[in-house]
Amino acid sequence: MTEKQPTTIKKYANRRLYNTGTSAYVTLEDLADMVKKGEDFEVFDAKTGDEITRSVLTQIIFEQESKVGQAMLPVTFLRQLIRFYGDNMQMLVPSYLEFTIDKLTAEQQKFRDQFASALGGPLAEPTRQMFQQLDEQTRNNMAMFRQALTMFNPFAAVADEPKKGGEASADLDDLRRQIGDMQRKIEGLSTKS
């Protein structure tokens, strides 16, 4: 069985988008609908031939976020995301975000069903249970991601361990700080060489 090739979209200098599959001009809204329907596409600059799918998808997100009542990305998330650019964690962020969104996508029907049942009866208890399960799933995702990180950095397991009993000893905090300082020095040396 052959996999369906993604539709080619060409972006012209006048910012118009041309769907080669339907031989028609399309808008960013049309592309957003294609994504929602699960249709795969790639966008190329018509003049240079460069692939620009990422920037077009980002434009779609920007447009969706600009619509009243449509915003999904909290300001704190956006700020933190910006902070990751240029940081040594930047290379891990895409994998973590992809992992998390894949898990959310896999569980979305379960969450929809729970939300629908919460709206059908008394809201308090079912809604609380739904958010507890979402919180638990997020914690499990983070634990799996931390475990994966320890394969790349054995010091991460020590630095990221949850504090026992609500407070860690001063010695443990000092050790974590020293490990963090050593990691920064090592990173500084590797960028100089």
- Complete edge-to-edge strand list for the sheet that includes strand 24-26: 24-26, 17-19, 7-11, 41-45
Would you state the pLDDT for residue 147?
66
**Residue-range domain boundaries for the chain:** 1-72, 91-152, 156-193
Distance between CA atoms of 10 and 19, rounded to whole angstroms? 7
Would you state the pLDDT for residue 163?
47
pLDDT tens figures, 116-135: 666 555 555 666 666 677 66
Distance between CA atoms of 106 and 193, rounded to whole angstroms? 44
Would you state the pLDDT for residue 150?
63
pLDDT tens figures, 32-52: 999 999 999 999 999 999 999
Q: Quick one: 142 exposed, middle or buried, by C-beta within 10 A (0-12, 13-18, 19+)?
A: middle
| Count of Cβ atoms closer than 10 Å to residue 108 Cβ | 10
Contact 6, 42 (CB under 8 A): yes
Nearest to 55 by CA among 66, 64, 45: 45
* Opening angle at CA 148, ends 142 and 149, nearest 5: 90
Low pLDDT (below 50) residues in the chain = 156-160, 162-168, 193
| Strand spans (E) along 35-188 | 41-45
Q: What's the pTM?
A: 0.57
Q: Quick one: 167 exposed, middle or buried, by C-beta within 10 A (0-12, 13-18, 19+)?
A: exposed
